[in-house]
Structure 1
């Protein structure tokens, strides 16, 4: 049995199959960790979503900002954007089943044996791994509640800009969402800059890439979301897997134990 992690698929279904074929992936013996943004912007969002769901327990999925956007459209009354490729999902006969499956996925996963953490955008230095997992479970309980529409109506926004233990309700859940699914540049006190999408060297004054701040643990962190990094953080323990497939780059698959990266040109 081999565990692999894949970066942002974003509806590039054929490239996903290509890269899985390179390692002879089989759900009967292997497991696929998916670092969020399964869908949107690429040509085959519906096929991608159906395939990942079909893997059952052989897939460990965390939600990305594009996945949450689909749920905000389907459940929160938001509109499809001009560049979205979500309509085929919304029009599908199994749309309700797929969106229900999607909202029951995780915000973060942690493998204690390997000491590996995965979320779509990373792990802020202001949280320990146990704290991050507690906040992920808290938000997952909101997404998986019988009536999550209120959350999805109010999900979008850049405020609060940083974490405080005293936050409650939607302010608390929105900032947790932003750390797990939108974070790139962060200040020492935990404030997020959510506007800058450039390479790591081009952050605004007072902000650094989140993985540049020291941590007290040795946890490896797998993340996607930041295509401008081109898969490089310069720090071995921080593993960037968004290599811009949907933008004509590559789709990257990584063996969790050996660290080998397998690429498919897009």
Structure 2
């Protein structure tokens, strides 16, 4: 493995969120940085509020940062502060990547790419086109995921504790996304995606065995929600696969080069201190 070097020409990237101490993004990106021998570093930033996040973006405009990934609760603010944005970010109204160049800010979202890669890897038989998908949550990650799923031809039902927020998301994304409530929301669904920070109260045992369940949370890799899905005989897709899936385009956007062709999953599992249960991760 090559050894990274830090000089006066170092490119600094990072992850921004609150809380952010749990994030595995620095582990992934610095693993790739070291493998590629880049003059770069990827660190964590935790602004206390929206004003703090705006200050960090100003630092990026001033040339102090190459780019950052953005996580909760700043994804929608990241999109709003950008000068230009990718079509993917515009579709979802949120961003998990900000790139700083020549005093300007470009917003992008790789959350959807990460979700699709995770599904391809761990639920390869799943077909989205013409299918019904339930999205639990309506935050920044849910926005990006719902936009991507709708773009793949799925009919997306948004289930969220705050109906107003769910309706705003559905209105932004258009006709293939609707708000749903109660047990009827899950009828005919082939995929349930949890974008909430808490375990959903769903009777997974009552679902058809063909249903796939995904949890965007990756600590632990097998969350109680995913374990319940496995116990019910459902296909379970973990958030670690999504995190890795979005990390590669993020790395290239921030540092200007593609990451090394190294799968960080075994390294991450070792970092977490466990091996994948059931042999399917």
Q: Same fold by TM-score, threshold 0.5 exceeded?
A: no
Decide which structure has greater helix share: 2
Higher relative contact order (CA 8 A, sep 6+): 1
Flag the structure with larger Rg. Answer: 2
- Shorter chain as normaliser: what TM range? 0.3 to 0.5
Give TM-score, length-normalised by structure 1: 0.35
